[in-house]
């Protein structure tokens, strides 16, 4: 999802472009890919600052484990899928169909839950791919969003090769 509005705890430039981080209380609730002309602003609270530090560590080393408290808003089914995504190791992928079989659902339902993920990168939906292609990312089947997915997978693959 690409947004242009503000109201974020931070807006930061990353190798993927501008990211907006949202918090509620002591938990991270959202990460959005933003338009490039949105002005940066740095963390205004400790949770957002911790999220930014962990993102920077991930961009330096894709094996970095995220330890933030996350509060993704979604249905019980979506939350079950998002929880499963967190167990896919960096540098690995799983197909929509394989994950669907594991969770006793359909590949389309897995794709829908991935598309609704409010915390991409932190909840690694980019690690779910189609049987013979990358699949989609954040609801897109081509363009900038799919380029982000490809970048994340390549970044993690390079980190896995360094092990």
Number of domains forming the structure of the chain: 2
Distance CA 11, CA 14 (A): 10
Does the pLDDT at position 126 exceed 80? Answer: yes
Query: Is 123 found in the same domain as 51?
Result: no
Q: Which of 50, 52, 81, 125 is catalytic?
A: 125
92 and 124 co-located in one domain: yes
DSSP 139-162: TBSSSHHHHHHHHHHHHHHHHHHH
User: Each residue of 62-103: pLDDT tens digit?
Assistant: 999 999 999 999 999 999 999 999 999 999 999 999 999 999
Residues 50 and 86 in one domain: no
Q: What pLDDT does 74 receive?
A: 97
- pLDDT greater than 70 at residue 5: no
Other C-beta atoms closer than 10 Å to the C-beta of 147 total 15
Q: What is the pTM of this model?
A: 0.92
Which CATH number do you get for residue 121? 1.10.10.10
Per-residue model confidence as pLDDT tens digits over 111-125 = 999 999 999 999 999
Answer yes or no: do 91 and 51 share one domain: no
> Is residue 153 domain-resident?
yes
> Which domain, by its residues, includes 149?
76-160
Same domain (yes/no): 30, 95:
no
Kindly tell me if the per-residue pLDDT of 160 is higher than 90. Answer: no
The yes-or-no answer on residue 114 being catalytic is no
* Burial environment of residue 93 by CB neighbours within 10 A (0 to 12, 13 to 18, 19 or more): middle
84 lies in the same domain as 53: no
Residues 159 and 61: their CA atoms lie apart, in Å, by 7
Q: Are strands 27-34 and 2-3 parallel, antiparallel or unpaired?
A: parallel
């Amino acid at each position: 999802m690409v947004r242009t509005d503000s109201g974020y705890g931070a807006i930061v430039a990353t190798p993927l472009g501008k990211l907006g981080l949202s918090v509620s209380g002591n938990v991270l609730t959202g990460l959005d890919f933003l338009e490039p002309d949105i002005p940066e602003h740095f963390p205004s609270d400790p949770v957002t600052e911790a999220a930014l530090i962990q993102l920077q560590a991930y961009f330096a080393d894709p094996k970095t484990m995220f330890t933030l408290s996350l509060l993704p808003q979604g249905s019980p089914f979506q939350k079950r899928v998002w929880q499963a995504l967190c167990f896919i190791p960096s540098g690995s992928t799983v197909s929509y169909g394989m994950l669907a079989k594991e969770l006793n659902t359909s590949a389309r339902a897995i794709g829908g839950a991935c598309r609704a993920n409010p915390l991409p990168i932190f909840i690694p939906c980019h690690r779910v791919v189609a049987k013979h292609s990358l699949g989609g990312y954040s609801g897109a089947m081509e363009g900038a969003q799919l380029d982000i997915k490809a970048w994340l997978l390549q970044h993690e693959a390079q980190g896995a090769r360094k092990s």
